[in-house]
Chain A
């Protein structure tokens, strides 16, 4: 640990390209998730392999019997009335509250989805280019060698579990779990979303047949698209929870203006490895 900085230390932590991408992406991913759930509502069943329709075995299904909604995953049925399958007096898989548009409308959802798909891809390419050229990827995102040691990662996991977030000088940089979460979204989550999305396009399957090899068929790609989308939704939940725990005002300011107030060090540290 370095010497404690003055408690009221404002540091410039988040540069403009990062902030721009963050907010563009935040909007884009919400629209993609909401329109994606509407498109899913057209056929709320998922399959593995090349084909899959009503008479084939679905590994996941959201449905309803009358006013009773259910979710079936790998043969296990969970009642979900009021949340999935039947909610808000509609028998849609995902309820109107979380879909865009609110009323069943697949063509409009597709128009929105494919417009913001371009925003997502162009934003990702721009950000990836920036992260490479500015060395943001190496300086801020990739884990340092000492952070990759199991003992160090385990220490960070324990600290997170106790909600002991970094303070003082350590808060100037992302912590290891935070880096892993961001890298997961940037390098795994978003590329998988784009590639599995492209695999659902019959024209792309003709142009780039390797897409079908990569995902083992169009219906598998559709399943992967759904699973990774759920993963991104989970990331957002955890991300927002961490913002609240770390101090929402300070965190929001740093993502809007770039300036972040380092939280003062605790008087006594229990910083044993």
Chain B
């Protein structure tokens, strides 16, 4: 530790102090509450004004796919339960569907693979700005929800995941417009092969009109709920609860 304070470091130091002061204001919860009206307006505009609610996300040909589809977020969960499932090829793994449904279900991977499926080549857009195009095959979520008998009280579908990030369980949620959208699938295959661990084996959500952080990987349980408030941080997802990301990620 040196006591010499150069003018340069003083300038940088006071600059950082000023910036830190600004950040206190720019990141204050009250500021964000007011400004997030903008994103709420975007969501309303996209849902009510311009968008056909069933409008499909663009689909691509095999020739238009990314040569390499990078992985990010959790790429290799170390949680004991998941590691055990992965070790025996997800033979004992079950997808639980419960909450506000008439008949809760527990489905094996072979059952999901045998179910009617949809294959789509779509663009994955990360909130960071990059995009990758890949092919996904899976069971339409709407099909499973109808089979389980979704209650009329249900408003959101929650995806509980096997991975934890920064010590907190990953989860995500979508509303019923997206849940019953024809391109919303639970993908078990990617680019014609079973889903790799990096991309969310054995099952991940594809909700094609939203950004990457909504595409929950390592899905263990699907829960139908009337409100997101009682779950974890109450904002409907890991990034929403812990990092100010917006619940609606259509923009």
Show the binding face of A for B, using Cβ within 8 Å: 39-40, 42-43, 45, 50-56, 88-89, 96-97, 100-103, 105-108, 110-112, 114-118, 200-209, 212, 218-219, 222
- Is the beta-carbon distance between B68 and A202 smaller than 8 angstroms? no
Contact indicator A206/B56 (Cβ below 8 Å): yes
Q: Per DSSP, are chain A's interface residues mostly helix, strand or loop, or mixed?
A: helix
Cβ distance B50 to chain A, nearest Cβ, rounded Å: 5
Contacts of A219 in B (CB 8 A): 130-131
Chain B 51-72 interface mask (CB, 8 Å, partner A; 1/0): 1100111101000101111100
* Cβ-defined contact, A203 with B60, below 8 A: no
Q: Write out the residue numbers on chain A whose beta carbons fall within 8 Å of the beta carbon of B211.
A: 202
Q: Say how far B32's CB is from chain A's closest CB, in angstroms.
A: 5
Our pick among A43, A56, A101, A107 for the contact of B22 (Cβ within 8 Å) is A101
Also in contact, A115 and B35, with CB within 8 A (given A206-B58, A207-B50): yes
* Residues of A contacting B68 in the complex (Cβ-Cβ under 8 angstroms): 53, 55-56
Residues of B within 8 A of A39 (CB): 129
Interface size on B, residues (CB 8 A): 54
Q: Is the CB of A51 within 8 A of B133?
A: yes
Q: B residues near A, CB below 8 A? A: 12, 15-16, 19-20, 22-23, 26-27, 32, 34-39, 41-42, 46, 50-52, 55-58, 60, 64, 66-70, 123, 125-133, 208-211, 239, 243-246, 250-251
Chain B positions within 8 Å of A222 at CB level:
129
Question: Is B26 in contact with A108, judged by CB distance below 8 angstroms?
Answer: yes
Is B58's CB under 8 angstroms from A209's CB?
A: yes
Judge whether A202 and B50 touch: CB under 8 Å. no
Q: How far is the CB of B135 from chain A (nearest CB, A)?
A: 13
Complex Cα spacing A117 to B37, Å: 12
Which of chain A's residues has its CB closest to B45's CB? Answer: A118
B52 engages A207 (CB within 8 Å): yes
**Contact residues in A for B37 (Cβ distance below 8 Å):** 115
Report A-chain residues with C-beta under 8 Å of the C-beta of B251. Answer: 114, 200-204
The complex places the Cα of A225 from the Cα of B175 at a distance, in Å, of 30
Whether the pair B39, A50 counts as a contact (CB closer than 8 A) is no
In-complex Cβ contact of A56 among B19, B67, B127, B129 (8 A):
B67
**CB-nearest residue of chain B relative to A102?**
B19
Inside 8 A of B32's CB, which chain A residues have their CB?
Answer: 108, 111
